[in-house]
Homo-oligomer: A and B are copies of this chain.
Amino acid sequence: MARIRKTKYVILGLLTHGNLSGYDIKKIVENQLSHFWSESFGQIYPAIQELEGQGFIEPAEKKPDIREDKKLYKITNPGREELVAYLKRPVEEEKIRYEILLKLFFGGSLSDQEIIKQIMEFKARQEERLKEVAAYERELKSLLNISRDHVFYYLTALCGKNVYQAYIDWCNEALSILNDVEKR
C-alpha cells in the first residue's frame, strides 16, 4: 500500500458538510460515494479516534431528538486546514489491477468460447453500473444550479459514466475482433 491512508480525509471532508457520527459516515459513503469509494467500519471507527486525538475533530452537541448512544462529531479549524492541505496535494498514482485484462492476457489457456463468455459477463456488469451512474448523473445535472457543491457531485457521476461507457465500447470491439479471429 504505502499510499497514505485516505479514510481520515473522507471523514474530514464529509464533516465539512455537517456534523456526523461514524455510522452516518459509513452510510453516506455507501449511498453517495460508492461508485468511486468504499470504507468499512473497521477503518472508520479507529480513524475517528485518531482524528479526535489529533484535535482535527471534536464531539458536537446533539439535538435532544437523537439517541443517547450516538456520537456526533464536528470538524475543528485545524481539521479544516489538514483537509485543505490534503486536497491541494497532487493526486496519487492509483494502482491499477484489472482482473479482466489479466485473464485475457492468459487467454491462451482458454477456448474462444470461454473468453467470449468472460467478456460478455464483464460487459453486462459494466452496463448495470452505467445504468445506475447515468441515472444519477441526469438527476444531478438538473440540480446543477442549486449549489456550488452540486457541480462537483455532478462531475464525479459524469466521470463514472464516461469510464463505464469506455469499458462497454472496448468489450464490443474485443468481441468483434475475437469473432473475426475465430472465423479465419
Contacts and interface: CB of A to CB of B under 8 A. Distances in A.
Interface string A77-116: 0001001100110111111111111111111111000110
Contact-residue size bin, chain A (C-beta under 8 Å from the other chain): 35 or more
Contact of A155 (B104, B106, B109, B169): B104
A41 interface: no
Given A84-B110, A95-B38, A102 B6 contact: yes
A170 to B, nearest CB: 4
What secondary structure prevails in chain A residues at the interface with B?
A: helix
Nearest to A96: B36
A11 to B, nearest CB: 11
A109 to B, nearest CB: 5
Most buried by B among A104, A125, A155, A158: A155
Given A148-B181, A162-B166, A163-B163, A99 B92 contact: yes
A71 interface: no
A6 to B, nearest CB: 7
Interface in A110-151: 110, 114-115, 118, 121-122, 125, 148-149, 151
B173 A105 contact: no
Nearest to A159: B170
A30 to B, nearest CB: 13
A51 B149 CA distance: 51
A158 B170 contact: yes
A29 to B, nearest CB: 10
